[in-house]
Amino acid sequence: MSGRYIPEKLRLAVQERAGERCEYCQSWRRNAIHTFNIDHLLPLDKGGKTELSNLALSCGGCNSAKSNKVTAVDPLTKEEVPVYNPRQHNWNDHFVWSDDFLEVIGLTPIGRASVQLLRLNREGLRNLRRLARMAGEHPPGD
């Protein structure tokens, strides 16, 4: 299936698989102040399809920052690397939480480039994480 329309059944499957969290920044959908989106990991304009294996649940901030990008530059090595892809990569292999659990730290070139591109430590996210931590809802379990 191609195109921007995502059938409700497919949308629900993406949301359930993601555990109702952004698959990039790990924010809970229920705490979001912006709409969550279904992201095409390989964008339609690059040949991606609207099928479960190419979709991820994404908060508005991460979705907007990613746009149709599939690569980003690692700020350490200056190499162009793939953007973190939750269908191909394990979050814990590429990221770790800071000691206070408020920031995402990239461990690998993919992790570092994705933290920068997606702005995974933007102020609003840090504030939401602080509140979620106080409520016992952060960091998310695996």
**What are the tens digits of pLDDT across the range 16-49?**
999 999 999 999 998 887 899 999 999 999 999 9
DSSP H helical ranges for 4-55: 8-17
Task: Give the bridge partners for 82, in sequence order.
Answer: 71
pLDDT at 142: 60
Residue 38: Cβ within 10 Å count: 17
User: Do residues 73 and 79 lie in contact, with contact meaning Cβ atoms separated by under 8 Å?
Assistant: yes
Residue 87 to residue 127: CA distance in whole angstroms: 28
Determine the average pLDDT of the residues in 88-103. 97
35, two tokens: 């709409």
Residue 25 burial (10 A CB sphere; 0-12, 13-18, 19+): buried
Does this model's pTM top 0.85? yes
pLDDT at 1: 46
Closest CA to 125 of 138, 107, 109, 136: 138
The DSSP H or E segment spanning 66 is helix 60-66
What residue ranges do the domains of the chain occupy?
Answer: 8-134
The count of residues in the chain is 142
